[in-house]
Amino acid sequence: MAKKKKKKQNYQAPAQSKPAAKKKAPKVDADPTDPEVDIVEEPKPAAKAKQPPKAKKAAPAPAPKRRMPQLSPAMMISLFVVGLVGLVYIATNVFGPDDSGVTDAAAWDLPALDADNDPDGDGRITLAEFAGKPLVVNFFASWCTNCESELPRFVAAEDAHGDDVSFVYVNSNETGNWKPMAERTGIRDRLLVRDIKRRGSGFHRALGGTGSMPMTAFYDAAGNLVTVDNGELSASQLDERLRQLGIDV
């Protein structure tokens, strides 16, 4: 028997299909004891490196103590001399050139407050200089309001009777500057005396003063103390005292 020939069939390559998209396998919990299962461990995030702690700021070093310079003996002597000169300057310009004198009420001897008005030019004013003429001694201070009120009356009396009676103005118990007051009251160019001792009130106290101002002492022509008035004198009271001294007022 003749063999049947097989019909040739045209071979066609099967159409290539697009590869199926890979599906993400769902996450499953694998049994770590199963040898057939390869366990892929997800990489753990790297641990953050620990940063070294910030160094604390060092406290500022204490400033070195300044040492006092060592003074040589010559330098110490120079400083002593300068200080002594300063004290002399203060004593001369603030308290006057001389604080010596006598505060005896019957024989006083005091420094002139203003050398320009010193009759003898020796810087001293004494009771003996007024022998033969009655004398009025008025005490004043820059802080004394009653002194400022009465001083113009004494200036007027001196202008009117200066040939028969002498006037002396004593700056006593002073704590400030007497010059402005002396300018205002008219005694700046008169005979001015500075009190001494016991805080600049020795003569004032020798005549019985206790610190209150003003005060006025009256001497006769022989230099004898006649009377002392504490407090401000009116014009009539001053005239009465001058009459007691023998002045024709």
**CATH number, domain with residue 234:** 3.40.30.10
Per-residue pLDDT band at 25 (split at 50, 70, 90): very low
pLDDT in the model for residue 88: 41
* Rg of the chain in Å (alpha carbons): 58
Place of tokens 């009420």: 105
Domain annotation covers residue 187: yes
Domain annotation covers residue 219: yes
Q: From CA 177, how far away is CA 150, in angstroms rounded? A: 18
Range of 131's domain?
109-244
3-state secondary structure at position 160:
helix
Length of the chain: 249
Task: Give mean pLDDT, residues 70-78.
Answer: 72
Average pLDDT of the chain?
79
Domain annotation covers residue 142: yes
Q: Where are the beta strands (DSSP E) in the chain?
A: 109-111, 124-126, 135-140, 166-171, 192-194, 215-219, 225-230
pLDDT in the model for residue 52: 64
**Is 70 exceeded by the pLDDT of residue 65?**
no
Q: From CA 219, how far away is CA 127, in angstroms rounded? A: 9
* Residue 246 CA to its chain's centroid (Å): 54
Q: From CA 112, how far away is CA 124, in angstroms rounded? A: 5
Convert the pLDDT of each residue in 86-134 to its tens digit: 554 444 444 444 578 999 999 999 999 987 778 778 899 999 999 999 9
CA nearest neighbour of 247 among 154, 161, 127? 161
CA angle (170 as vertex; 164, 171 as ends), nearest 5 = 150
Per-residue pLDDT band at 220 (split at 50, 70, 90): very high
Domain annotation covers residue 120: yes
Domain annotation covers residue 173: yes
Domain annotation covers residue 172: yes
Domain annotation covers residue 4: no
The total number of structural domains that make up the chain: 1
pTM beyond 0.85? no
pLDDT in the model for residue 85: 39
Residue 116 is classified by DSSP as: G
**Is 60 exceeded by the pLDDT of residue 54?**
yes
pLDDT in the model for residue 121: 81
**Is 90 exceeded by the pLDDT of residue 24?**
no
